[in-house]
């Protein structure tokens, strides 16, 4: 059964097949077998606050917002879908919606998927790089970025390695977003 997108998300519905094809092509360039990994969530990007508000209204019809946090100076909302999204062989039930920030993305729509790599947070980069082909590390147009985005109440270290070709991004991190949000709740009770 296909996921039913409300009219507020018609542009994202149209963009989904493009993103899935781009994701498969990018993973192939990296030598990464997507089916071997746990996808945590998929994220969208937009340039205008009005688009973010419209998408939020649409995602609220498809699921429940379970977090809104200020990260890197902008709100990021997380939604748990009532019915998972089928993408690249995965069933993904969490969507990340950041409000526009300083960076302008080339494309408004689906932008990245995050894969969970369990293990020591400070060894995440090495674990992720070991999954990629040697050829991926030297291909022109592919870049790597490490970061540690963190909401003010997060208690779990959440390093991220992003691999991108400028249009499609695959990110790796050690925890599911729902675990990160749960860690915030723990800090509220301490």
Q: Could you report the per-residue pLDDT of 101-148, keeping only the tens digit for each?
A: 887 767 899 999 999 999 998 899 999 999 999 888 788 899 999 887
Measure the CA angle with vertex 142, ends 138 and 143; round to 5°. Answer: 100
pTM of structure: 0.89
pLDDT-based confidence at residue 186 (cuts at 50, 70, 90) = low
Most confident of the following: 83-97, 125-139, 154-168: 83-97
- 188 CB-contact burial (10 Å; exposed 0-12 / middle 13-18 / buried 19+): exposed
Distance CA 45, CA 48 (A): 10
What is 7-189's CATH superfamily? Answer: 2,3-Dihydroxybiphenyl 1,2-Dioxygenase, domain 1 (3.10.180.10)
Residue 170: half-sphere exposure toward Cβ, Cα within 13 Å: 28
Taking all residues of the chain, what is their mean pLDDT, rounded to a whole number? 89
Q: Are 40 and 114 in contact (CB under 8 A)?
A: yes
């Amino acid at each position: 059964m296909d996921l039913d997108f409300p009219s507020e998300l018609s542009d994202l519905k149209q963009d989904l097949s493009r993103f899935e094809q781009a994701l498969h092509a990018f993973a192939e360039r990296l030598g990464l077998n997507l089916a071997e990994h746990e996808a945590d969530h998929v994220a969208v990007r937009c340039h205008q606050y009005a688009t973010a508000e419209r998408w939020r209204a649409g995602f609220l019809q498809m699921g429940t917002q379970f977090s809104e946090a200020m990260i890197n100076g902008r709100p990021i909302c997380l939604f748990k879908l009532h019915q998972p999204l089928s993408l690249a062989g995965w069933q993904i039930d969490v969507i990340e919606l950041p409000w526009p920030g300083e960076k302008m993305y080339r494309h408004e729509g689906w932008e990245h998927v995050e894969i969970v790599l369990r293990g020591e947070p400070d060894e995440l980069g090495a674990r992720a790089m070991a999954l990629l082909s040697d050829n991926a590390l030297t291909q022109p147009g592919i870049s790597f970025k490490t970061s540690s985005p963190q909401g003010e109440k997060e208690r779990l270290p959440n390093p991220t390695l992003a691999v991108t070709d400028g249009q499609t991004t695959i990110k790796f991190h050690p925890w599911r977003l729902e675990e990160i949000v749960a860690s915030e709740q723990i800090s509220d009770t301490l």
